């Protein structure tokens, strides 16, 4: 397959490009496009054969449901069977934005979209390209091979999917760099299915109590080819002590292995080890840490080391999101210090 690549202004994407890509989607093709979270692999929601291609291209289990992207609240009527009042409250505050809501599905939505569940996940993305494209409802998981780090640039997509999709819209790096937060509103209290770019505490200001789902992954997520170890601690407030223990572990590992570390600027300044360093950003800016995580995991594979070691973070705010992705990326290879 010949993949077309369209380079566009992220703020003012070409209407001609958008129209061409909508036509591709209507014909049953696959289009990769940027959202404010990561790049998505899109198909027209109401074309089951096109949706099935997503699972084939990504090598994603068909038991894993997809998220429907819309651009107007009116489109919810096509996607869901009933709209609770709280949806409008959440939409007013957080849409367009990185919040996905799980609701009872409209029977018109193909079973392949929802893995035959009676619920459907839906969101309104905050990226100008995604919003214009979602004039028709689009299902779109992350545009990568299943299990590997999600793509935050078109270059990542090209490496994974070139020749397997009809078109890629390149609008530069995505702003958040991690996927949307998913809340299941069909449960009482609502359940956090996946922490994401919108901190759950902010959603809780509207919903009140939110149950945090204990996650048991069905298959590996976000995993680099390089073996990855995460070093955690119970008390990140004593950062000096954590840095000392982190340094000690890495020094021992580096005696007989070629090691790379993925760390914050603050930790990098406090330790001295025989290892290649990938900087995530500052602990003072959790958005920066999240934005840089997936590209740091891809960078790890480029270094051809024996082992990667990654810093841990306190699980509050976006720290919950960051640790969800880090633990999955490490295949839950965790060392507590």
Hey, CA dihedral for 27, 29, 34, 36, is it positive or negative?
A: positive
pTM of the full structure: 0.94
**Predicted pLDDT of residue 1:** 84
Please tell me the distance from the alpha carbon of residue 141 to that of residue 30, in angstroms, as a whole number.
12
Please tell me the distance from the alpha carbon of residue 255 to that of residue 251, in angstroms, as a whole number.
7
pLDDT, tens only, 267-302: 999 999 999 999 999 999 999 999 999 999 999 999
Question: 4-179 sits in which CATH class?
Answer: alpha beta
**Predicted pLDDT of residue 86:** 97
- The mean of the pLDDT values for the chain is 95
Which fold does the domain 228-336 belong to in CATH?
Rossmann fold (3.40.50)
Task: Between 113 and 223, name the one with better pLDDT.
Answer: 113
pLDDT, tens only, 19-40: 999 999 999 999 999 999 999 9
Give the confidence band of 222 by pLDDT, cuts at 50, 70, 90: confident
Tokens of 175: 């702003």
**Predicted pLDDT of residue 7:** 98
93: left (phi over 0), alpha (psi -120 to 50) or beta: alpha
**Predicted pLDDT of residue 126:** 98
Mention every residue, 6+ apart, whose C-beta is less than 8 A from residue 147. Answer: 219, 220, 221, 222, 223
Give the confidence band of 218 by pLDDT, cuts at 50, 70, 90: very low
Closest CA to 267 of 291, 251, 244, 294: 244
Of all residues in the chain, what percent carry a pLDDT higher than 90? 93
Mention every residue, 6+ apart, whose C-beta is less than 8 A from residue 318. Answer: 197, 199, 286, 287, 289, 290
Give yes or no for residue 60 having a pLDDT over 50. Answer: yes
Cβ(251)–Cβ(272) under 8 Å?
A: no
Give the confidence band of 220 by pLDDT, cuts at 50, 70, 90: low
Nearest-10 crossing angle of helices 85-94, 200-207: 140
Ranges of each domain in the chain: 4-179, 228-336
């Amino acid at each position: 397959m010949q993949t077309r690549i369209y380079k566009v202004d992220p703020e003012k994407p070409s209407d001609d490009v958008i129209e061409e890509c909508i036509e591709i989607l209507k014909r049953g093709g696959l289009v990769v496009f940027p959202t404010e979270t990561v790049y998505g692999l899109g198909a027209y929601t109401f074309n089951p054969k096109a949706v099935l291609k997503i699972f084939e291209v990504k090598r994603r289990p068909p038991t894993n449901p997809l998220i429907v992207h819309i651009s107007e609240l009116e489109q919810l009527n096509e996607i869901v069977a009933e709209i609770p009042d709280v949806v409008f409250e959440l939409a007013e505050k957080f849409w367009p934005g990185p919040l996905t809501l799980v609701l009872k599905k409209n029977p018109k939505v193909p079973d392949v979209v929802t893995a035959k569940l009676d619920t459907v996940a839906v969101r309104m993305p905050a990226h100008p390209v995604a919003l214009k494209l979602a004039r028709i409802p689009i299902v779109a998981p992350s545009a990568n091979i299943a299990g590997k780090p999600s793509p935050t640039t078109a270059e990542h997509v090209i490496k994974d999917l070139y020749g397997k999709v009809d078109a890629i819209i390149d609008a530069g790096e995505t702003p958040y760099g991690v996927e949307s937060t998913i809340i299941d509103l069909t449960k009482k209290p609502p359940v956090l299915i996946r922490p994401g770019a919108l901190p759950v505490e902010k959603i809780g200001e509207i919903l009140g109590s939110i149950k945090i789902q204990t996650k048991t992954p069905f298959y590996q997520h976000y995993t680099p080819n390089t073996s990855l170890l995460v070093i955690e601690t119970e008390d990140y407030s004593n950062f000096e002590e954590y840095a000392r223990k982190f340094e000690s572990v890495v020094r021992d590992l580096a005696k007989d292995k070629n090691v790379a570390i993925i760390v914050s600027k603050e930790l990098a300044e406090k330790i001295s080890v025989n290892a290649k360093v990938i900087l995530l950003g500052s602990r003072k800016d959790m958005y920066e840490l999240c934005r840089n995580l997936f590209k740091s995991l891809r960078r790890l594979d480029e270094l051809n080391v024996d082992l990667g070691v990654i810093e841990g973070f306190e699980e509050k705010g976006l720290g919950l999101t960051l640790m969800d992705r880090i633990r999955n990326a490490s295949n839950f290879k965790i060392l507590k210090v």
